[in-house]
Structure 1
Amino acid sequence: MNRREIIWQLSQYGYTKEKLESMPMSDLAKLFKQTSKERITEYMNTLRADKQTEIIPGEDSNNIEREMELVYHAISVEDINFAILYDAIEKILEKYDLNEAIELVLSQSSDKQYKQMTQITEVAYRSFQEILLDRIEKLCEFYPAEERFEQLKFYGDRREDINFLRESIANMSAQNNQERLSKIALLKYDIIRDYYPDSMYENYEQFYENEEEKNEIIERIMSLTKAYTRPMLKAKKFQVLSHIERVLIEDRDREKEEKALIKQYTKKLGDVILSEDELAFAMMLKEALGVLDERDVTRIIGNFDISSNPILLQRFNAIMRDNRRTNK
């Protein structure tokens, strides 16, 4: 990591750029190492504290008997009250798994309703899974996007185990755990991003290869260049797309900077040509060659007629020859 990168990293954590710029490289490296160690130690301590957290189960506020009564009243009438029925089943699922919920609902229904009530309970179960996953997503709302995606995929893959989902929600909600877990996720993400940037793709591959994420970066690339078709970009890995976008942005910024410099030196060189000051012309020409390509400088001079001033023309040719010789 070079000096500029180290200064940028340290400036993200409370150090002023003025102070960092004044420090020798050896001190910067020492401070960077110390800061890295402190942040990783903080991350590990937070993890340990999280493991030691006692999970205190919340009180069961669901009155199952009341929900059973609601189920009975909802299905005992000629026209089933589906709103009340689904709401009651979801309340039951707060405490019981699918098979237990089916048994409880069937205990309130007639034999001829067996198939229908089983299907309704299964539908309510699928809906309840999404409710639990939505709760988890809410608890992860302050995670970095990459970490949130990983967490939601982890829990989404375990949607069939609602006991696990319920316990996870209780754990994440207990004793300010949401804030602590968010901090862990942020620390992990920051450490990987700041100190192991080459590992970002490896750690969050599924996030970056997600269709939505790929589509977003493809749109950005296509707004920067017409060199690629959408199918061509779709076939590439996110890591490659990210590199393409970075190069295109760098090219765009460089082109913008070059245009600004060309405009700036067109005015400066024009002024010294009009003044017919040979020394000022030579100095400005050398300055322009220090920041612009020879081709651009030649084009700038081509906008002015210096052939009528043999001294300036001679000085121009001599400086350009020296520049070519130096850059060989």
Structure 2
Amino acid sequence: MSLTLTPALRDALETWLAQEKALRGGTDNTLKAYRADVLRFLSFLAGHLGGAPGPADLRRLGKRDMRAWMAHERGRDLGARSLARALSAVKGFYRWLARREGFDPTAVLSVRAPRFRPGLPRPLDETAARAVLDIAGTQHETPWVAARDTAVVTLLYGCGLRVSEALSLTGRDHPLPDTLRIRGKGGKERLVPVLPAARAAVAAYARICPYPPAPEGPLFRGVRGGALNPRLVSRLMERTRLQLGLPASATPHALRHSFATHLLRAGGDLRAIQELLGHASLSTTQGYTAVDTTRLREVYEQAHPQGRARE
């Protein structure tokens, strides 16, 4: 982005991003997205205000300026979800700057994000999920790579891990314990029970992997010995779903959705599943679980004090 920031605003942006990483545990990808969103906003202001904005210009922003920016973003075909994310980043920076500079941010913070209908996850049914575990290890002719692929997808489905979480495991995690301590989004830690099938799949891979697990090295390796690239996991799922005739929604992340959905259908407690997934909000967990409203109501009534009182 070709925007030239004033030294004061450049320092402010970098300081805010550094604090987001230190205090909130923001990932590199999240911080990169924040920076891009705020820079795009400041780039708009440069044209809107007739020059590179500084902290003093941001003090004077009002709802009309924010609406002009949002209309501009809509004009370049930015979707409602992406615009809501950008507005969240801008508000986060603006809130922090207001505290540092001592001005009232109410006019900007009161601007509402556009409404959008969140996309519903599309988990696999249980038969398809088992088929993925069976077929994933047949996509590569090298035995240790095939065993690695089986181990990764088994962890995604059997433990509900994100791809980034599975690939962040190191040699220190081998052999897998009964319970894994996972550091998820925002640096939040959670404890995840490890199924015997997942432990066995990882052990089978580690036994024949030509790169012995080092305590600080990646547990899952690429063919040249480096850390396994998450894009290769996506390609693995793409080949697997084509072979099985599954829809394009059968992605690595769909295995995590499937983990949550199948647990709830089997009678799992929604709060417990929330903890296993590492969700801050129960509503997020509900969105992850593709179960009908009757089942959700049953879970709610079993957990709610008034529901239990009727039993």
> Under TM normalisation by the shorter chain, which class is it?
under 0.3
TM-score, normalised to structure 2's length?
A: 0.24
Larger RCO: 1 or 2 (CA < 8 Å, sep 6+) = 2
Structure number with bigger Rg: 1
Relative to total residues, which structure has the larger helix share, 1 or 2? 1
TM-score, normalised to structure 1's length?
A: 0.23
